[in-house]
Structure 1
């Protein structure tokens, strides 16, 4: 599976003509997990039949951040990551709506007539079985069916997607797994290995004094990834590298604010200010406090050897995982 070479990411209402007149999959799609992928695949199938673009219509910020700003959401796929996955899936484009209280107050009828028909000129709509929209969540799949018949667009509703154990796949499940360090289980629900993008920032430069210079990245406070040591793949300037990373508070030194620190194997160069794409491939161990720097270095040597071995034999989990991590 490879990304579409003509993939376009746009902000509503500035929609390129190439994304008009197609099939629109609607949802928040945080995680772009296997359940979301079922909705997106149905849209792509319908678009192929109609010989038109397949477009994901999504919303930023997360609606919960608008209505409950005191409860920050651990975003699995912020906008750039969501676009990256959408392109790898083969969608034509991603259209993002600025989600505000005013937009949320728009009636379901107005959303259909102004956004779907007026702006996107949609020929088809695909949603999940529990999709609701518009003021008071008055818009439902049944309402969409009626509007589709009236206004001339097809509607596909995708049933709930469950994993091999019969449990519903959800973003909240994936967040909990990542918080517990169960990144393999999270990847099983996502259909790819979770990744994040962040800028490399200056740290205390302590790592270079002990033979482990690191690329330091600060993640949003809402990211509840388990603290610990990871074998990682890291993309820098379009090139993929392997490394070993620590995410946590550095209890041996200062027990400060959490930082994701990656030692990139066999790499030299200035990374400050660059945006890195980091994929944790394996969780090696929890964060620990050491009685001496020498004990820490000995453990880091062991962690590095283990990470190299894991990464050298890592295989793609799915075609999507191949496109994102190995492509």
Structure 2
């Protein structure tokens, strides 16, 4: 009986956004696969209305909803399994850390903008190479690849030094996984599989840009939904700078390029500039930090993330406890003592300390 209750308990404890995303992904993908498989074996081809769910660059202007619906459709069973194994548990983790509203914003921003960039790229390719049948009507975009990469970037932000084991024998640090995924995307695009693998590259860039400059946070590093603090925008720490996605050999010239781009983006008000709240909250540190501060800064961010998660769970537990508290008598007298003793003991969540790490970052 315990084995049967475990999946149900997991489902019931899943936050609402992740739960809705998982159900929609499962129903849309299995429905698409079933209809496509049945029609192919009876009529020899898939029905045209299935294309109303996928994003075709040439038909997008007539089916604008596909820029969103294509995210929850995985035409292959392997893509669906990959999304259920990685995307859903990752969303479950971050929704508990960020909250419902921020999770919805993260999903929509990383997927819709990535799909939009792919549309622009395909139109440019069609104009240059003159093959609209391929680039506009033969390359559908679908799936959660952009969201997967953005989630890897988010893990890199909070636990960059954490080591994971892949396939039982490959060990890698979390901060290496996004670029490994981008490398796979480059290889697949070179051999002609641009759709949907190029979404990985846009998901990496959009996810990093949003977390770096636009995501609303509080001074202690937690989301505003979870804690109260000074309002800041993004993570300006040195370990999350753009140059750290690349080998140290190119940090110098690439740093000058990114600094030039950032200065002009601030001048054009495309990204917010540094504020005093950034410095007070530790989310921004000017350039020039030593290498010894990198690990300390990573541990600081990990501690802040754990603290935010513990505090959110403590708040939920407190609200549940207050809702189940018995009413007091109207005459003001205390209730009669119960002869039944309770053996349950409530534990107070341990507050994680946040080590501070020095360091300075660039855009």
Q: Same fold (TM over 0.5)?
A: no
- Answer with 1 or 2: which has the greater Rg: 2
Per residue, is there more helix in 1 or in 2?
2
| TM-score where L is the length of structure 2 | 0.23
